[in-house]
Amino acid sequence: MADRSQIHPVIVCCSVLKAEIGVLQEKHWPDIQIMFLNSILHMHPEQLAHSLQHLLEVELDHGQEVVLVYGDCCRQMAAMTDKHVVVRTRCNNCCDLLLGREEYRRLSHERVFFLIPEWIMRWREIFTEGLGLDRAIACSFMQDMHSRLVYLDTGIGPVPEKELAECAEYCGLPYEVRPMLLENLRTSVEEALLNLEKKASGT
């Protein structure tokens, strides 16, 4: 059996968590290579699936083991972990990763629409180009589906008050800022790394 102490898996992650994962990598996983795919691919699930599958093929051909830091972001996601050297974080989406399952479910039941640092800076692109919502439709849709906006402040940079206020006005919803730590994200990634070690070694 190979000496697994010499194996450093590759982490493949959505760029929506690039800053947060970067901080954790520097502190906890300096020897692990991390690759990021553009978060806008979530607006096009088939393109996301194609990009992930291509990247996996390349890494597996090079003998790498892979952790996918993704939720249920496309219908092919489950099949990607059929390989014995690929695992995925246990989560529905990136907000679930940041908040933890219990808190994510609680806020979801309150009909919260989550905003995270990378996406709030691109909110207009996402609403108008990605979702095709002008202001009138956005207001109607968002107010029917959600009670408020909640910005998950991961502490990486200053709270983008201007962008939050503009997004809230566009959607016709109030917003609040929720400060948080990165421990849930760290725990989820490290659990996936451990699961990968077990899976790859057959234990």
User: What's the pLDDT at 105?
Assistant: 96
Please state, in angstroms and rounded to a whole number, the distance separating the CA atoms of residues 51 and 76.
11
List the beta bridge partners of residue 151.
Answer: 115, 177
Taking 80 as the threshold, does the pLDDT of residue 4 lie above it?
A: no
pLDDT in tens, 20-74: 999 999 999 999 999 999 998 988 889 999 999 999 999 999 889 999 999 999 8
Does the pLDDT at position 6 exceed 70?
Answer: no
More confident residue, 141 or 6: 141
**What pLDDT, on the 0 to 100 scale, is given for residue 82?**
87
First to last CA, the chain: 12
CATH number for 4-95+182-201: choose from 3.40.50, 3.10.310, 2.60.40, 2.40.128.
3.40.50
Residue 198 has pLDDT above 60, yes or no: yes
Question: Would you list the domain boundaries of the chain?
Answer: 4-95+182-201, 100-179
Query: What pLDDT sits at residue 5?
Result: 54
Token pair belonging to 193:
């790394």
Predicted local confidence at residue 132, as pLDDT = 81
Q: Alpha-carbon distance 30 to 64, whole Å? A: 17
Q: ∠ CA(36), CA(39), CA(41), 5° rounding?
A: 105
Higher pLDDT: 17 or 43? It is: 17
Q: Does residue 185 carry a pLDDT above 60?
A: yes
- The pLDDT score that the predictor gives to residue 184 is 96
Residue 7: band (very low, low, confident or very high) from pLDDT cuts 50, 70, 90: low
Torsions phi, psi for 64 (to 5 deg): -85, 155
Averaged pLDDT for residues 81-93: 90
Whole-number mean pLDDT of the chain? 91
Q: Which residue has the tokens 């898996």?
A: 9
Q: What is the reported pLDDT for 1?
A: 41
> How many other CB atoms are there within 10 angstroms of residue 167's CB atom?
24
pLDDT at 167 over 50: yes
Crossing angle of helices 135-145 and 161-171, in 10° steps, is 90
Q: What confidence score (pLDDT) does residue 143 get? A: 94
Q: How much is the pLDDT for 147?
A: 97
